[in-house]
Structure 1
Amino acid sequence: MDPKQRFYRHFQDSVAVLQDQIDQLESVSAVAGERQEAIDHVLAGITKLQNEVTDAADYTPSYDRRQYSETIKGLQDKLNEMVARVTPKTRFQFKRAGTSGVHVDMGAPENDPRLNPGSFARNAHTSPRAEPSKEPTESDDTVSELPKTSTTRDYNEEISKPGLSGIRKPSFSMAKNIGISNQAGLHIILPSSAARATSSGSLTDLRDCIVDMSVPTAQGKPFLGLALKDISNSLIVAGRVSGPVHITGISDSILVVTARQVRIHECKNVDIYLHCSSHPIIEDCTGMRFAPLPKCYMTETDSATENQWDQVDDFKWLKAGHSPNWTTLSAAQVLDDEIWTKVVPGQPGASVGETLKKVGIPRR
């Protein structure tokens, strides 16, 4: 795919996730700083997206960059409005450092980093922060920055270290969200201590892995949003998601997902056990097979919601008739409950490869 088109799709997907996260802020509890953590997470997401737009300047035309800039500004305004609504005593307004709140047009030649290096310096301009307005009768308050990398635990490094057990159970008790990346050949089970780290989740660059995130989202809160990207030959039990799930670049794997909305791009040979309250969407996919969520992962909330797991919309199949890119699993192909309850949690002495083989990975 052309880099310009690929980035456009990535940008649209990222905006959709951020919009859903902003919409969910009203439902996040303000107790123990949970809502503020969710706001900080959205701020970090907007900053990341803005940095990505700058990095893509080499292959995106000025018109597209102007559109991206306006969209990001719209996200900032939407977040300001939501923060003002959920915290009425403090009025927030986005303000770029050193620009007195002036919006930077990334499509303008003077701001093009290729033509005028340093004109849109990341350290000076691309970190939006929500700052309270000055009130003479109230003391100043500020939204704190996200913790620096050096002061937070590197869970991915901890997961990678050799252990006595073949199963890793990272606590994520000090984390605000779940982020697992760049792992191979590991069996990872999130314990209940990760229940407070579900403001968002991401699994990226995994190979020959088993990841089970069902426990913290069943006992605590569901993820507000989840992204799965660049995963191969793996089993992912993604848990419950109250917002959208974005699935990109998955191959020869099995996914178990409960979500309000599922969008699937550029995947091949993937079995998805799904509970979804809207039509799943696939695009540029082949060999997709769908089945309903296994009973052992169902909750009372799931049981009371219509499951549209088999109402798949293929955006790249516009002809009459059924898309050849997806089908449903037959009764003989669906994994039975014993596999989910006894094999997937891990058996004594069983390697990751042996467990993956028992669930049918690589897919036959």
Structure 2
Amino acid sequence: MEDDDPSHQAFATGTLDSALQKKHHDMLERLSARHQARKSDSPDSSSSSSSSTLESTSSFLARFADSKRSIESRIVESRLASSSADSSKLKSDLAEISLVIANLEKLLAENSYFLPSYEVRSSLKVVSDLKQSLDSLSSELVPKKKFSFKTKSSSTKPESKPPEIKKPDFVSLPKVPVRDSPGFRNKHKETLVKSFKGSSIGEFTLSDLDSCRVELTGTVNALFLHRLKSCNVYTGPVIGSILIDDVEDCVLVLASHQIRIHCAKKSDFYLRVRSRPIIEDSNGVRFAPYSLDYSGIEEDLKKAGLEEETKSWANVDDFLWLRAVQSPNWSVLPEEERLYPVSISGDDGDS
């Protein structure tokens, strides 16, 4: 009954990720590659923003390297101990290593939005190599169970057939966790105003808002939107990325180098973006050009490297639509239905 061993099941789950590595690699690389335009095209970006990004990258790489060395050591130790370890203990060790590799891959996914594209490629290669090493060790030390006939007994339940593992045709982007950063949370029918001018805030979060109007002016490094319903959101330029998860019946006026949208329904996006917007698990979403005005917005757009309109807002990538024709999940918002330029004050409110 080795197939019923929880450790074996955990390891089988880990090896499924290895089979999907290539597509996962392509998506994460595309998601992060856009972010690099900021460094070459934003000479007016503040030195504090640059140092903050470098510090985050350095911290991630140090943590990633430590985890890589630890996993490699555990693989070597398992190989050396295989001659004396029993089968159950060996499979348990391999399952634990598989889980650690999965956590390392999750760490990379969660931080890919600010990492240089070459660092993402290199890190993905490391994860792929670690999975391959573990798979090779598993094949060598835990051979497949030999076939044997079993006599069924009326007093016991028949042995259930292990479920067939089906490889999906597509791998979803990793969902973005809610950040513990400054922001507006758990508000209903309120007007929420925040200015980032003169602020040291690097990331800002909008979470669990219902029927709210949000006005953000100035620049911020990253913006996260989670669980918004029937909201109007107007933001100044974001130097890095905007990551959106679970919005419905919203109007969002946003500017950023890259924008990723997960699980959006019946919402309109007015965007200025340097790369193709990404949608996933979304439907009924419409896109139009950025239409926001406030005192100092031209200076903020220049600071963020977004002064030029690239018209990328109309070139949307639907990661769950693989056909050659355009996805039916999004459309261009007809001109006669678009908002006129929206003016906001930029006066700071409660945060």
Deviation at 1:313, TM superposition (A): 1.4
Compared CA separation, residues 39 and 201, structure 1 to 2 (3 A): farther
Corresponding residue of 1:189? 193
What secondary structure, in the 3-state scheme, does the structure 2 residue paired with 1:224 have?
A: strand
Deviates more, 1:235-244 or 1:280-289: 235-244
Instruction: Select which of 261, 266, 270 maps to 2:263.
Output: 266
Alpha-carbon distance between aligned partners in 1 of 2:233 and 2:112, rounded to the nearest angstrom: 34
2:336 equivalent to 1:332: yes
How many residue pairs get matched? Answer: 242
Shift of 1:39: 5.7
Instruction: Please state how far the C-alpha of 1:260 moved relative to its aligned partner.
Output: 1.4
Distance of aligned partners of 1:18 and 1:208 in 2 relative to their CA distance in 1, 3 Å threshold: farther
Partner of residue 210, structure 1: 213
Distance 1:39 1:265, change over 3 A: same
1:266 counterpart letter in structure 2:
C
Tell me, yes or no, if structure 1 residue 199 matches structure 2 residue 202: yes
Deviations 1:238-276 (A, max 9, x none): 220122221111111111111111111111111101111
Gaps (5+ residues) in structure 2?
Answer: 1-12, 18-23, 65-94, 120-130, 132-179
Structure 1 pair 37–234 and aligned structure 2 pair: CA distance change class (3 A):
same
Where does residue 314 of structure 2 map in the other structure?
A: 310
Measure how far apart 1:326 and its partner are.
Answer: 0.7
Maintained 8 Å contact 2:49/2:221: no
Tell me the TM-score normalised to structure 1 length: 0.49
SS at match of 2:103: helix
RMSD value, Cα: 5.5
Partner of 2:272: 275
User: Alignment partner for residue 284 of structure 1, among 256, 278, 281?
Assistant: 281
1:144-223 to structure 2, matched below 5 A, reads: 179-185=182-188, 186-191=190-195, 194-214=197-217, 216-217=218-219, 223=220
SS at match of 1:246: strand
Letter in 2 for 1:317: W
Letter in structure 1 aligned against 2:183: I
RCO higher in structure (CA 8 A, sep ≥6)? 2
Q: Which has the larger radius of gyration?
A: 2
> 1 CA distance for matches of 2:259 and 2:195?
25
Describe the superposition over 1:208-244 as per-residue Cα deviations: whole angstroms up to 9, x where unpaired. 2211112x22xxxxx2222212211111112201222
Tell me if the contact between 1:277 and 1:308 (Cα under 8 Å) persists in the aligned partners.
yes
3-state SS, counterpart of residue 324 of structure 1: coil
TM-score, structure 2 length as denominator? Answer: 0.50
Residues 308 and 38 (structure 1 numbering): CA distance in 2 closer, same or farther, change over 3 Å?
Answer: closer
Q: 2:298 — aligned with what?
A: 299
- Counterpart of 2:287 in 1: which secondary structure? strand
- The SS at the match of 1:267 is strand
Give the whole-Å Cα distance in 2 for the aligned partners of 1:329 and 1:284: 19
Superposition pairs of residues 1-364 of structure 1, within 5 angstroms: 29-30=46-47, 61-65=99-103, 67-68=105-106, 179-185=182-188, 186-191=190-195, 194-214=197-217, 216-217=218-219, 223-294=220-291, 296=293, 299=298, 301=302, 302-337=306-341, 340-341=342-343
Q: Evaluate the alpha carbon distance shift between residue 44 and residue 287 of structure 1 in structure 2; reply closer, same or farther with a 3 A threshold.
A: farther
- Residue 244 and residue 318 in structure 1: after superposition, are their counterparts in 2 closer, same or farther (change >3 A)? same
Q: 2:309 and 2:186 mapped to 1: Cα distance?
A: 34
Deviations 1:66-124 (A, max 9, x none): 5447889999x98xx9xxxxxxxxxxxxxxxxxxxxxxxxx9xxxxxxxxxxxxxxxxx
The alignment partner of 1:225 has SS state of: strand
User: What is the distance in 1 between the residues matched to 2:269 and 2:112?
Assistant: 34
Question: Relative to structure 1, is the Cα distance of residues 40 and 285 closer, same or farther in structure 2, using a 3 angstrom cutoff?
Answer: same
Q: Is the 8 A contact 2:34 2:274 kept in 1?
A: no
* Bigger helix share: 2
Percent identity of paired positions between Structure 1 and Structure 2: 25
Q: Which amino acid aligns with 2:198?
A: A
Q: Any stretches of 5+ residues in structure 1 without a counterpart?
A: 50-56, 82-106, 108-176, 218-222, 347-364
- Matches of 2:243 and 2:331, distance apart in 1: 20
Change (3 A) 1:40 1:69: closer
- Report deviation, 1:190: 1.4
Deviations 1:1-54 (A, max 9, x none): x9x99xxx9xx97x9679959x86997645xx66665566668889999xxxxx
Quote the Cα distance in structure 1 between the aligned partners of 2:106 and 2:210.
Answer: 33
Amino acid at match of 2:264: C
Amino acid at match of 1:64: A
Say which SS state the counterpart of residue 257 (structure 2) adopts: strand
Question: What is the CA-CA distance between 1:178 and the residue it aligns to?
Answer: 6.5
